[in-house]
Amino acid sequence: MAEGKVAFELVSPERLLLSVQADMVVVPGAEGDFGVLPRHAPLVSSVRSGVISVHDAGQVTERIFVAGGFAEVMPERCTVLAERAVAVADIDRAEVERELNAAREELADATSDNERQAAQRQVAEARALLDAASG
């Protein structure tokens, strides 16, 4: 590991998406965003839908949207296991708007609490994706 860096890995169910050395990583935790620097105290957190920012040399070098998952932080590394991940630059707004409309239709048609909750999660995720693409 490089001196003064934190090893960051982003893993999806399919594969390892990113493995880099960074000055800092900002993760959208369930209780709010948190920054991970070298020598961070050990931590495990659930991850909410939002954008992970990887910082190096005073700049944001990577922005990745994640939808749910878990983060494990150790003094020398941060690993995020994401349910879904996509680079912010690769977000297709038109596709996400279609996903949002479909999720809204599913929510309107939901006949059980389980269907309603699943549709609400899809709506929230699509909105978060659109927010990530906008900012």
User: What pLDDT score was predicted for residue 77?
Assistant: 96
Whether 1 maps to a domain, the answer reads no
Same domain, 108 and 122: yes
Whichever domain contains 39, its CATH number is 2.60.15.10
User: What pLDDT score was predicted for residue 14?
Assistant: 85
Same domain, 46 and 105: no
Task: Quote the DSSP letter at residue 88.
Answer: G
Strand residues in the chain grouped as ranges (E)? 6-11, 16-22, 24-29, 32-36, 43-47, 50-56, 59-66, 69-74, 77-82, 85-87
80 near 70, Cβ under 8 Å?
yes
Containing domain of residue 111, as a range? 91-134
Number of structural domains the chain divides into? 2
118 vs 133: CA distance, rounded Å: 23
121 vs 105: CA distance, rounded Å: 13
User: What pLDDT score was predicted for residue 133?
Assistant: 85
Same domain, 24 and 64: yes
Question: What 3-state DSSP class applies to 113?
Answer: helix
Same domain, 31 and 52: yes
Of residues 12 and 70, more confidence is placed in 70
Whether 61 maps to a domain, the answer reads yes
Average pLDDT over residues 64-75: 95
User: What pLDDT score was predicted for residue 32?
Assistant: 94
Same domain, 80 and 97: no
Residue 116 has pLDDT above 80, yes or no: yes
